[in-house]
Amino acid sequence: MTFEVSVTGDFTAGVDQALFSYYEATRIYAFYPRYGPKDGDTPVQVWGENFIDYGEETRCGFGTKTTHATVFNSTYIECHSPQSDVVEKPIPFTISLNGQQNSRDTLFYYFYNWPSIEELVPNHGPEMGGTHIMLKGRNFYPFKEIIDEINNANDTFCAFLDLKVRVPAIVTNSTRAMCISPPSYYWHQSRVEITLNGVEYTDDEKIFYYYKPPLLFDVQPREGPVRGGTKVLVTGANF
């Protein structure tokens, strides 16, 4: 639509014109992830309709803060979360195509403090996997007080980076989480990290070591007195 300005009301003196475009209201159907660390820069995928690329005016809104949105087509865009000092609270998530009017769907994004791993217990296990590993650290359970509003259990994983494998992690409290080691017949060790949103992982580089299971061939002698004290020779492999 042509846009003009007149000071007389009859538009006879105007010589300049500009185009003003109307668009259908944007809708957001889903976005992922719905949470990320407070430092920001979490990549967020958004699905909806009526998305249009108006350059820097097309924005993702996280409460009062906005970031540039990259439009791939009318139903899919991507953006990155901003930094936030507010954690574990619902932050309205919106899309704007002109930097003023926002989408009206009621959706929320949540920020949390970065988790960290301080120790793996145990930090070693057999190469066939199956070791229950306790992760000791902090900030593993950011939404414990609002679990009825938001639950990230399905996005919480342990990553064995050198194996390029991730396994589910079960969080018991803010300082403890548990996962089960996958098998590794080639790599003898792997860095282990945790993610709370399925996208961003810690960078603590705690090492889990693999070993071949011990094999027992013989024990000599095979008998001794009840008072103990018998020296026993054990032969086998992978001790």
Query: Of all residues in the chain, what percent are helix, strand and coil, respectively (each to 5)?
Result: 5, 45, 50
Mind listing the pLDDT tens digit for each residue in 86-107?
Answer: 999 999 999 999 988 899 998 9
pTM of the model: 0.82
According to DSSP, residue 102 is labeled: B
Mind listing the pLDDT tens digit for each residue in 166-216?
Answer: 999 999 999 999 999 999 999 999 999 999 999 999 999 999 999 987 777
Annotated domain spans of the chain: 2-8+17-112, 116-211
Residue type present at position 81: S
Both tokens assigned to 29: 């159907």
**What fold characterizes domain 2-8+17-112?**
Immunoglobulin-like (2.60.40)
User: How would residue 218 be classed by pLDDT, with cut points 50, 70 and 90?
Assistant: confident
What are the residues facing 207 on neighbouring strands?
191
**What fold characterizes domain 116-211?**
Immunoglobulin-like (2.60.40)
What whole-number distance in Å separates Cα of residue 95 and Cα of residue 99?
Answer: 9
148 by Cβ neighbours in 10 Å (0-12 / 13-18 / 19+) ranks as exposed
Residue 76: count other Cβ atoms within 10 Å of its Cβ.
14
Per CATH, 2-8+17-112 and 116-211 having the same topology is answered: yes
